[in-house]
Structure 1
Amino acid sequence: MGRRFVPLLLICATLSQSTNLLACPFCTAVSQTLRQEMASMDAVVVAEATEAIEPSDTGEVELTVKVVLKGEKLVKVDQRVKSIYFGKAEKGRRFMLTGVDPPELMWSSPLPLTERSEDYLLKLTKLPDDDVERLVFFQEFLEDEEDLLARDTYDEFAVAPYSAVKALGPKMHHDQLIEWIKDPEIASDRRRLYLTMLGVCGDKKDVPMLEAMLTSTQKSTRGGLDALIACYLTLNGAEGLPVVNKLFLDNKKAEYADTYAAIMALRFHGTETDVIPKEQLVSSLHHVLKRPQLADLVIPDLARWGDWSQIDALVELFKTAEAGNNWVRVPVINYLRACPLPEAAAALVELEKVDPAAVRRANTFFPVPAADAPKKDAETSQISDSAASGLVQVFDSGKPLAAATAALPQVGRSATAISAVNPLRLLFVSSITATSLTILIWLVISGGTLPAQT
């Protein structure tokens, strides 16, 4: 019976991962931390297997409560509780259990604990309310040998207010971050976090290392490229733009994913920081207009940032568009619709004669793009000479780091929302959809069960 749902779970996991990829390229989806889980439950205990546990058809096991972390009025030490666990465990193995719906508590599946992870849980219950002090504790477990602790502390940083991450800067372990960032085996999501932290505690001395990573031909070295470029530009300022232009924006041989990562980093700096003047960021984006297959990625940014210097270039791009990149025509029309200059109005009349259908689609399905409103003084960071340091300079004090780093993809979604569909970006989603439909059709034909294993 359980195997029947495996394909469906795979579909859900795959679609979830694809959504997370679009939602936050600086970090993976943030799961609920142990601290958050404990706070949301009625009871939390450490329970022990009083006899060896063997796999069974029902999975029902009975455990003895040894430590009550929460809910002292609902459960007592030495009380026996029942749960569902399909694994195998020796006598004396300890687990974390969470319970809800008193008075007859329903218990979660047991989470196996080691002596260290049990001690970690006990310390979680004693942490102060101050976000910075909690991060001081959690950073000691980043990349811990126990996956449970390493994963939980990563998630704690991801949900922490960015103001707390910045305040942690003087207490960050700079050299340790460098070691992790340079590790070719490090997971991309972890490297993104450590690059974000390096943007807080790093300085110009770190720029050569970051530039070497950018120019490396090893994909493992350039994992988390969007965060790498953003960190490089944060610490190097406008001086780093020529390198980014040469490697990713003006380079017609650069891979689509690499160019897109660079565009995301520039959007990030254009909307969330004042490290680099917007005029220089826009100038870098102009390079992408020379690559017709990718030009639609940046045209909305030019309109949103009020750069009206590219009317002639975009008119030419519209006229020379071929079947392989004619999706660029709608973004061009939207750019001209947003432009207040008389030259834009004249160009619209001219281009409607070339492709009236594209003009009609733009007018029918897309609102006129609006330029970004100027930042209020209270929302704008002043960058001092000693602090070209925050990878993210402007965030609400209560905004989590995950939401902060999600600024890049959010900008990407708003930018591409006014552009026509680019087939390259549909390929990944289409492949997932096709695979999911194939599995679902097979389930219907087979009656919803997997073939028996021999």
Structure 2
Amino acid sequence: MLRFFSIRLATVALLTGGLFSAYVGVRDAIACPFCQAPALTLTEQICESDVVLLAEWVDATKPEADGSVKAATRFEVKAVVKGDFQPKQILQLAGYQPGDPNQLFLMTGYKAELIEWDLPLEITQAAFDYVKAAPDPDQPTAERLEYFVKYLEHADDLVATDAYGEFANAPFDDIAKVSSKLPKDKLSTWVIDPKTDAARLGLYGLLTGLAGDDEDRRVLEEFITQPSDDIRLGLNGIISGYLLLSGDEGLELLVKTKLKPEFILDESGEVKLDESGMPVPVPFSETYGAMQAVGFMWQYGGDRIAPEKLKAAMRVVLDRPDIADFAIVDLARWKDWSIQDRLFNLYGSDGFEVPGMKRAIIKYFLASTRDLPEGVSLDDAEKLPEHVTKGQKILKKLEQQDPVVVKDVRDREFVLYN
């Protein structure tokens, strides 16, 4: 069981770019919820630099072991964006940078007593023109995205990666504002193209949901429901895009194919068997990706799917002890107190006896006791909602049943699901 939970957490970290917290979900971040955003885009790097040049590699000198010759590289300035330099000026930098004549590099640096240069970045003329014309980071995000949307999946991978980074760093609300500018005829084809960088699939699935039509919905549905026992990066964003297009019908399909079954179903709806005749389990990553998509619809989907239907879909996962604690997190954050009796009965039962599961349930009940109407305190006994009083009673029972774990949760003052 411990090995399974280690694998599970490693999978979560992979699917979320390592930005996962078990109790404060990645979907609370302001940036694209399914994108692995870069530390700095090229535009941000240029904005923070004092010197920005396009330079051509001239030659380089390797160092001698005895120290008689120092490593050095020479560049010829071809264009200046920032800094007191002139075209055709020769720069000599310390350190050996391999290169070829006519090879171009983006040179950035910071002014001190001497310029502190970043590592030269190999760049094409087309990529430099893209960077030079890019809007400043202080402009409204939605307006900036209208520039970068034209460069998604550009032939120059540096450009395509950077344009993706701009979207990955953008809040979803701003991404939604440029839906009319998206390349509608290309998005779903990028999702299913095996040549597409897997790190970009979540974004492209999400964009498909914003700009797609019924045919795109069919493409995403076929992709999502195909049997798979591999970790499919970006599936969370692809499913989210699908739910934006399909609404209630898509949610029903998601429950049937991802949230409810423990085993993979083949095209005929039968349980898929491996070579030894054993049922093939649904990978944790598939179920977790579907749960993230349900959570996305809760936060960003507006009225596309009713909140009660999203809660009902997440409650299905409570039958899956391998992943139910994640559902408990979301249901507590969504203030679904209808499962108080159910969780009390599950506490400590088969599959729910591991410490992490117990803590999740205890935290759920702590959260229920703190969901108070405005102006009401825990001292106002007569005004307390039913879920608060029931939560208090169940916590007392759990303290009698499992005092060590309950005390540990209280003492650590874990962040509640808010």
Scaled to the shorter chain, the TM-score interval is 0.7 to 0.9
Change (3 A) 1:31 1:323: closer
Per the TM alignment, residue 61 of structure 1 is displaced from its structure 2 partner at its CA by: 0.9
Whose relative contact order is higher, 1 or 2, with alpha carbons under 8 Å and at least 6 apart? 1
Contact 2:62/2:71 (8 A) holds in 1:
yes
Q: 2:333, 2:137 → 1: CA distance?
A: 44
Contact 1:33/1:152 (8 A) holds in 2:
yes
In the alignment, which residue of structure 2 is the partner of 1:261? 289
Change (3 A) 1:202 1:88: same
Q: 1:22 aligns with which of 11, 14, 19?
A: 19
CA deviation digits over 1:365-398, x for unaligned, max 9?
A: 246846x5xxxxxxxxxxxxxxxxxxxxxxxxxx
Q: 1:68 aligns with which of 46, 63, 80?
A: 80
Where do 1:151-300 residues align within 5 Å? 151-160=161-170, 162-218=172-228, 222-253=232-263, 254-274=282-302, 275-300=304-329
Q: 1:17, 1:261 → 2: CA distance?
A: 11
Change (3 A) 1:299 1:49: closer
Contact 1:177/1:194 (8 A) holds in 2:
yes
Change (3 A) 1:84 1:247: farther
CA deviation digits over 1:300-359, x for unaligned, max 9?
A: 322232222212221221142468635322322333342543444443343333322223
Per the TM alignment, residue 124 of structure 1 is displaced from its structure 2 partner at its CA by: 3.6
Q: 1:286, 1:199 → 2: CA distance?
A: 25
Q: 1:77 aligns with which of 84, 87, 90?
A: 87
In the alignment, which residue of structure 1 is the partner of 2:272? none
Q: 1:368, 1:126 → 2: CA distance?
A: 37
Q: Which moved more, 1:105-114 or 1:262-271?
A: 105-114
TM-score (norm 2): 0.74
State the one-letter code of the partner of 2:89. Answer: Q
Contact 1:100/1:106 (8 A) holds in 2:
yes
Q: 1:96 aligns with which of 92, 103, 106?
A: 106
In the alignment, which residue of structure 1 is the partner of 2:47? 39
Per the TM alignment, residue 363 of structure 1 is displaced from its structure 2 partner at its CA by: 2.8
Change (3 A) 1:145 1:219: farther
Q: 1:37, 1:46 → 2: CA distance?
A: 14
Change (3 A) 1:355 1:216: same
State the one-letter code of the partner of 1:284. Answer: A
Q: 1:328, 1:111 → 2: CA distance?
A: 48
In the alignment, which residue of structure 2 is the partner of 1:358? 405
In the alignment, which residue of structure 2 is the partner of 1:147? 157
In the alignment, which residue of structure 1 is the partner of 2:266? none
Change (3 A) 1:366 1:238: farther
CA deviation digits over 1:44-68, x for unaligned, max 9?
A: 1122234x44654654112222221
Contact 1:128/1:134 (8 A) holds in 2:
no
In the alignment, which residue of structure 2 is the partner of 1:452? none
- Structure in which a larger fraction of residues adopt helix: 1
Q: 1:209, 1:221 → 2: CA distance?
A: 19
Contact 2:259/2:316 (8 A) holds in 1:
yes
Contact 1:83/1:109 (8 A) holds in 2:
no
Change (3 A) 1:79 1:263: same
Contact 2:352/2:358 (8 A) holds in 1:
no
Q: 1:336, 1:122 → 2: CA distance?
A: 54
Q: 1:98, 1:118 → 2: CA distance?
A: 12
Contact 1:53/1:90 (8 A) holds in 2:
no
Aligned-partner SS, 1:241: helix
For the aligned residue pairs, the C-alpha RMSD in angstroms reads 3.1
State the one-letter code of the partner of 2:286. Answer: D
Per the TM alignment, residue 137 of structure 1 is displaced from its structure 2 partner at its CA by: 3.6
Per the TM alignment, residue 216 of structure 1 is displaced from its structure 2 partner at its CA by: 0.8
Per the TM alignment, residue 194 of structure 1 is displaced from its structure 2 partner at its CA by: 1.1
In the alignment, which residue of structure 2 is the partner of 1:135? 145
Q: 1:142, 1:276 → 2: CA distance?
A: 29
Change (3 A) 1:314 1:92: closer
> Structure 1: 5+ residue runs without aligned partners?
1-15, 373-454
Q: Which moved more, 1:184-193 or 1:213-222?
A: 213-222
- Paired positions, count: 353
Contact 1:55/1:88 (8 A) holds in 2:
no
Aligned-partner SS, 1:257: helix
1:310 aligns with 2:339: yes
Per the TM alignment, residue 133 of structure 1 is displaced from its structure 2 partner at its CA by: 5.3
Contact 1:214/1:222 (8 A) holds in 2:
no
In the alignment, which residue of structure 2 is the partner of 1:331? 360
Q: 2:332, 2:131 → 1: CA distance?
A: 51
> Structure 2: 5+ residue runs without aligned partners?
1-12, 21-25, 27-32, 65-69, 264-281, 370-385
Change (3 A) 1:19 1:203: closer
Contact 1:95/1:113 (8 A) holds in 2:
yes
Percent identity between matched residues is: 30
Q: Which moved more, 1:189-198 or 1:351-360?
A: 351-360
State the one-letter code of the partner of 1:334. Answer: K
Per the TM alignment, residue 246 of structure 1 is displaced from its structure 2 partner at its CA by: 1.6
Where do 1:91-130 residues align within 5 Å? 91-101=101-111, 104-124=114-134, 129=139
Q: 2:351, 2:144 → 1: CA distance?
A: 56
TM-score (norm 1): 0.69
Aligned-partner SS, 1:36: helix
Contact 1:144/1:150 (8 A) holds in 2:
yes
Q: 1:265, 1:127 → 2: CA distance?
A: 29
Per the TM alignment, residue 224 of structure 1 is displaced from its structure 2 partner at its CA by: 1.0
Q: 2:48, 2:348 → 1: CA distance?
A: 58
